[in-house]
Amino acid sequence: MNIAWGITGAGHLIKESFDVMDEISKNHKITSFLSKSGEEVIKAYGLWDLLDNISPGGYLEEIITPEKQGSSSPSTGRFFLGKYDLLIVSPATTNTVSKVVYGISDTLVSNAVSHATKSMINTYMVPVDKEEKIIETTIPYYLDKAICTKCSDCVAAEKCENDAIYSYTIDLLKCDACGRCIEYCIYNAIIGGKKLKMKVRKVDADNVKKLKKMEFIKVLNHPKELLELVGSSFNF
């Protein structure tokens, strides 16, 4: 089975989505469609190597990025050709959800949703902000400037193989979340895996309600629900 999978720039549910992707990829081909923000978040959470295993290359198993596709996103034309059995977007940011709801398709992922639904291909979406409530999420690695003593010789920076630490901050576009820097900072100024609470806005919850009413789109609460659905007939 050929599956298109859209990944947007959400840290919440990103690891859970990758766990499910990895499992599904054992029996099905997955083409990964990344938004620009999605590409950044994958790197920040140290998931790029896993994505390479999920979509190792070759036809219908590529990692497709905005840089490779440009604004026209030609690979999304595969939906019209019937190359994919379904589209999954997990995690789906509030930005992507609002664009889909209002018919905007100016990113690789929102364009994929537009093409899939026009082609009458079922689309499963896992929004990160579904209803008005407090949720808990895990943030990427960061350097706490309130703790950092600005050592003249920062061992963590010297040991970072990606040169992601400089000017007493962590560049998330270079960081791969390996965690080695934590070992080298004797002041414990580098934080990883911290959980925070945040409130889902009413406007975002309302957009999810609208999303649920759209044709050929099914909204799921958690990526793990996909494990059962992929083995079904995909009928909504």
DSSP 190: E
**CA–CA separation, 48 vs 176, rounded Å?**
8
pLDDT tens digits along 78-98: 999 999 999 999 999 999 999
Phi, psi dihedral angles at 88 (to 5 degrees):
-120, 135
Give the burial class of 112: count Cβ atoms within 10 A of its Cβ; 0-12 exposed, 13-18 middle, 19 or more buried.
buried
Phi, psi dihedral angles at 156 (to 5 degrees):
-60, -40
Phi, psi dihedral angles at 81 (to 5 degrees):
-85, 0
Sign of the dihedral through C-alpha 79, 85, 91, 94: positive
Q: How many CB atoms lie within 10 A of CB 204?
A: 19
Question: What is the pLDDT, as a whole number, of residue 177?
Answer: 84
pLDDT tens digits along 179-222: 889 989 999 999 887 888 878 889 999 999 999 999 999 999 99
Tell me the H-state helices in 88-136: 94-101, 108-118
Closest residue by Cα to residue 88 from 206, 216, 200, 193: 216
pLDDT tens digits along 14-59: 999 999 999 999 999 999 999 999 999 998 888 999 999 999 999 9
Residue 9 near residue 66 (C-beta atoms within 8 A): no
**CA–CA separation, 188 vs 181, rounded Å?**
10
3-state secondary structure of 23: helix
Question: What is the pLDDT, as a whole number, of residue 142?
Answer: 86
Question: What is the pLDDT, as a whole number, of residue 233?
Answer: 46
7 bridge partner residues: 34
Residue 14 near residue 129 (C-beta atoms within 8 A): no
